[in-house]
Amino acid sequence: MKRDLRQSQRGWRDTRGAFGRPGPRARCNLSRRAFTLIELLVVISIIAILMGILLPSLNRARKQAQKIACQSNLRQMGIALQTYLPDFEYRLPPSSCHIDEPNDHWLRVLTRYTKEQLLFHCPSDKGKKFVNWDRPLGEQKEARYSSFAVNALLDPIHYRYGTRSNRYNSVNNIRRPMSCIWISEAPDTESFRLADHIHPETWEGSVDYAKRFIAWDRHQGTSHYLFADGHAEGLRFEQTYEYPGVCNWYPEAAPKWPENP
């Protein structure tokens, strides 16, 4: 270290003239090394232009990658569901509307039926507070279970479609499983603190009200939905729910509206 310093001091002395002023070689080196203000501004503006061109496309690529990761995650849930169903007489896993045991949460149940690690958080979900499953849930009332929510109308023990009429106690009783949504993306709102399902029967045909319970804009104006047959799609919310017209939420009528919603 010391030798380096001495060397550099010697190097500096060498470039000086006989009376301690910078010699001709030093002046020449200095003028060759220095940037003029204009050169500096040109370089900065070129960098700014390049960043202006590259950043939006990088951002777009990042969002696209997140979207693909989310959709393939939902597909994995669909595959896990196909393995789960035969073990449970084709009943869909119940929601937290009826169960309190954290280990029976539908998403945790599905993870036991897939080799791939299921994502509990969509990569585009900006929410921060998620449940730590190793700690008592009672101490985490502000946290969310996941970025996803199940449709309570398909819950095998739902008060209306389960225990009363018992019609949807099996996925085989859903009229068109490929048109009926089971999982949607849930927004980072108060209603999803320690909650994992939605109640479409409370929406009463209002798209604006329904959108409070769906992260309809999570992926550039669209959101992902897993249907009861196990396929996943990215759709605008209105493509799933618009009165009169399409309704992918009621098991007895999807993709139409039921007679008495």
Where along the sequence are the contacts to Zn ion (CB under 5 A)?
70, 97, 122, 185, 218
Least gap, CB of 152 to Zn ion (angstroms): 5
Which lies closer to Zn ion via its Cβ, residue 169 or residue 223?
Answer: 223
CA distance 120 to 149: 11
Helix (H, G, I), strand (E, B) or coil at 226: strand
Least gap, CB of 154 to Zn ion (angstroms): 12
Helix (H, G, I), strand (E, B) or coil at 222: strand
Phi, psi (degrees; rounded to nearest 5) at 113:
-110, 20
Which lies closer to Zn ion via its Cβ, residue 97 or residue 207?
Answer: 97
Query: What single-letter amino acid sits at 50?
Result: L
Least gap, CB of 123 to Zn ion (angstroms): 7
CA distance 232 to 203: 23
Least gap, CB of 44 to Zn ion (angstroms): 38
Which lies closer to Zn ion via its Cβ, residue 105 or residue 218?
Answer: 218
Task: With beta carbons less than 8 A apart as the criterion, state whether 189 and 195 touch.
Answer: no
CA distance 239 to 125: 21
Which lies closer to Zn ion via its Cβ, residue 15 or residue 111?
Answer: 111
Which lies closer to Zn ion via its Cβ, residue 97 or residue 253?
Answer: 97
Task: Report CA 177 to chain centroid distance, whole Å.
Answer: 24
Task: With beta carbons less than 8 A apart as the criterion, state whether 105 and 148 touch.
Answer: no
Least gap, CB of 215 to Zn ion (angstroms): 7
CA distance 110 to 210: 26
Which lies closer to Zn ion via its Cβ, residue 39 or residue 238?
Answer: 238
Q: State the residue for tokens 């309190």.
A: 100
Least gap, CB of 94 to Zn ion (angstroms): 10
